[in-house]
Amino acid sequence: MGENEDPLGVVIGAREIYDEVVGLRGDVQRLGQEGETVTETLEDHETRIRGLESERAKYVLPVALITAVATVVAAGLTVAKLSG
């Protein structure tokens, strides 16, 4: 066995290390771009959800008012029926 030989038979050279580092760099760049896309999508979804919430909020008060009036009318009719 020579002086530079690995007892397990595996030798990794500088070229292999360099190639892996370059590959990792590309992977990191792709992940960064995907992260930007996800951020844009989340912002778009947040905007849409806020729009839906504001649309729904327009109808909450009128519906609550109609429900309250209907309850008062029903209670009044019940009292009138029992009284009379």
Say how many domains are in the chain.
Answer: 1
> Could you list the residue range(s) of the whole structural domain that residue 52 is in?
12-83
Distance from C-alpha of 27 to C-alpha of 23, rounded to nearest angstrom: 6
Total residue length of the chain? 84
Residue 41 domain-assigned (yes or no): yes
pLDDT in tens, 26-71: 999 999 899 889 999 999 999 999 888 888 778 888 889 999 999 9
Evaluate whether residue 4 is within a structural domain: no
* pLDDT number for residue 72: 94
Residue 31 is assigned to a structural domain of this protein: yes
Alpha-carbon distance values, 74 to 46, 50, 63, 81 (Å): 41, 36, 16, 10
76 in a structural domain: yes
Task: Tell me the whole-structure pTM to 2 decimals.
Answer: 0.43
Q: Is residue 2 part of a domain?
A: no
The contacts of residue 7 (CB under 8 Å, 6+ apart) are 1
Residue 70 burial (10 A CB sphere; 0-12, 13-18, 19+): exposed
